[in-house]
Amino acid sequence: MDAGVKNVGASIKPGVNLAQIERLTQQISLGFRNLRFFPELEPEFRVYFRDLNLRRMRVCLMLSMLLFTAFDLVFSRSLPPDVARVLVAADMSITFPTLLITLLVSYTARGRHWLPALSAACILALGLCRIGLYGFTHTHGISMPYEGLILIIMGGFFLLGLTFYRALICAVLFLVCFVVVMASVSLPMVELVHRSYYLLATTLVCALAAYTSEYATRYNFLYNHLQLHHAESDALTGMRNRRAFMDHYDRLWKMARRDAKRIAVCIVDADCFKAYNDHYGHIEGDAVLRALGEAIGRIVRRPLDGAARYGGEEFVVVWYDLTRADASNLAERLISEVLGLGIAHAYSEAGPLVSVSAGVAMAIPGDDSTPIQLLRRADEALYRAKENGRNRFEMD
């Protein structure tokens, strides 16, 4: 066996998808009792968690506005006019605007990025406003029902899409502020201890339930993403598999047709790969395929572009919105990138190193073309590249 290829498998790092699968598996294995993922996984989970709770949060916000309105209409009638005015003014200037702004922001694409922080600010505003009103009404000899604060604590843990730690911080802050404010207005000690006890009990029960719920949500996130990667990835190279590529390709084709953009397909085939497997063995052959997948992946960097293992030693690439010159340059780079791997292949008819041949076809999707036709044209171009000596590309 040639010394240049003896350790090729050991020198190849996993592709991006393989690394993601490994990280997901490692996270499940290590656990996450502190409800935190690895830095590269946590931001993705936060977006997933936000979107998972979005509909429930909107319902909660709308229901909260109705409940606060009903409370003001009913409860304020039993209060002295000057106290009722303060109560209604506080809700009109703090409670309703906070709820309404959070609700409206949840319907904007840009605003959703700030939604977790805004939800935390919303729950804080609601709770602190209520605590302030409890103190104010007590100074006027009126006992305002504090169960509203319990509902706000529960809403923070379960309804507004806050992660466990944010909801817990808000609840603890409410408890501390409640004790300080009510003690400062001379609430009888027995009553203060009684109310504080139930607020603490509510916080502990909700915290336990919220921790368990978020833990389960995080596990489902990891497991579902792992299953998705397995379903859409090629087990050997970590690239998209053929089925996942065709799904992406069809979506890209429809987008290109809608926007009248050019789309390019490149089919890549390893030169004399059967001879490589026959002489160096299938284990080294698998290592070469992983190396080819990495090399091709380095040429496919834009968000809408895609690459996949098409089958055997064949790969496929799709590029979106580019000129013929751009496609030619990318194909040339792809050929050079593979040669740059420097993997010896003494039995290749194309040269002393592992190389690839490629066929490129381009089209602006329309009524006279289909995705399959473009792939067929790229395959025909690949056939010409092989006929003309391999280690090259041809364009349709």
Q: What is the DSSP letter of 370?
A: -
pLDDT, tens only, 224-267:
988 888 888 888 888 899 999 999 999 999 999 999 999 999 99
Q: In what order do the strands lie in the sheet with 356-363?
A: 306-311, 314-320, 263-270, 356-363, 393-395
The C-alpha atoms of residue 160 and residue 127 are separated, in whole angstroms, by: 13
The C-alpha atoms of residue 381 and residue 305 are separated, in whole angstroms, by: 20
Do the bridges between strand 314-320 and strand 306-311 make them parallel or antiparallel, or are there none, so unpaired? antiparallel
In this predicted structure, what is the pLDDT of residue 17?
Answer: 57
The C-alpha atoms of residue 244 and residue 169 are separated, in whole angstroms, by: 42
pLDDT, tens only, 272-317:
999 999 999 999 999 999 999 999 999 988 889 999 999 899 999 9
For the cut 70, the answer to whether the pLDDT of residue 87 exceeds it is yes
pLDDT, tens only, 153-176:
999 999 999 999 999 999 999 999
Instruction: Please list, in sequence order, all residues whose beta carbon lies within 8 angstroms of the beta carbon of residue 319, skipping any fewer than 6 positions away.
Output: 263, 264, 265, 266, 300, 302, 305, 326, 327, 330
In contact, 50 and 115? CB cutoff 8 Å: yes
- Indicate the pLDDT class of residue 14, thresholds 50, 70 and 90: very low
User: Cβ atoms within 10 A of the Cβ of 249, count?
Assistant: 21
Mean pLDDT of 58-87: 91
pLDDT, tens only, 372-392:
999 999 999 999 999 999 999
Residue with tokens 């890209």: 252
Q: Which helix (H) or strand (E) holds 307?
A: strand 306-311
Each as own residue / partner, the long-range contacts of residues 291-295 (CB below 8 Å, 24 or more positions apart, any chain) are 291/8, 291/12, 291/341, 291/343, 291/354, 292/237, 292/268, 292/338, 292/341, 292/354, 292/356, 293/15, 293/234, 293/237, 293/238, 293/239, 294/12, 294/13, 294/15, 295/334, 295/337, 295/338, 295/340, 295/341
The C-alpha atoms of residue 114 and residue 137 are separated, in whole angstroms, by: 34
The C-alpha atoms of residue 21 and residue 28 are separated, in whole angstroms, by: 11
Q: Which two tokens stand for residue 178?
A: 């409640």
> What ranges do the domains of the chain cover?
31-230, 238-395
As a whole number of Å, the end-to-end CA separation of the chain is: 39
For the cut 80, the answer to whether the pLDDT of residue 368 exceeds it is no
Hey, CA dihedral for 179, 185, 189, 195, is it positive or negative?
negative
Q: Which CATH class is domain 238-395?
A: alpha beta
Question: Which of 192-231 are b and which e, b meaning 16 or more Cβ less than 10 Å from the residue's Cβ?
Answer: eeebbeebeebbeebbeebbeebeebbeebbeebbeebee
The C-alpha atoms of residue 7 and residue 126 are separated, in whole angstroms, by: 63
For the cut 70, the answer to whether the pLDDT of residue 36 exceeds it is yes
Beta bridge pairs of residue 361 = 265
pTM of the model: 0.72
